[in-house]
Amino acid sequence: MMLRFVALVATAALVVLLTPQPGRAIDMIVFEELKEQAVQYGMISQRFVTCKVEPPGSIKVAFLKYARSKGATDKDLEILTKLFQDGQGRVRNLKSGFSPEECKQKLESAKGKELLAQIEKWYKAEPGKTP
């Protein structure tokens, strides 16, 4: 009798763990990756400010559109916004930034051009569609 009860409880626990949580439309692994990217793109956004360069669109808006296309809910977007701002804060307080020449060199590199193209693509994407 006790063994049967334990088996029933274990089965119920598995059902609860494997049932998708309401309001959680995004996979946890994807959300963790988005959290890391939020900090990274926040730092990139602030680098544009320190370089006195205008990106092709708001990096914050572009990133949040991208996150929404990955299934982020409004609550997820609030968390990602705070992490984005944290990334900006990490760069904002640097004692010295890139020189204008270094900024230009970084933006003209292959990685810089790829980054600009990605930001522009995310920024121009329609809400709810994967860019």
117/126 Cα distance (integer angstroms): 16
In the chain, where the domains are located: 27-124
114 burial (CB, 10 Å; 0-12 / 13-18 / 19+) is exposed
Give me Rg for the CA atoms of the chain.
21
How far is C-alpha 100 from the chain's CA centre?
Answer: 27
Q: 40 vs 48, which has greater pLDDT?
A: 40
Residue found by looking up tokens 């949580």 in the block: 21
The per-residue pLDDT for range 49-76, each reduced to its tens digit, is: 878 778 878 899 999 999 998 999 999 9
Please report which confidence band the pLDDT of residue 9 belongs to, taking 50, 70 and 90 as the band edges.
Answer: very low
- Paired tokens of 66: 């991208």
pTM confidence score: 0.72
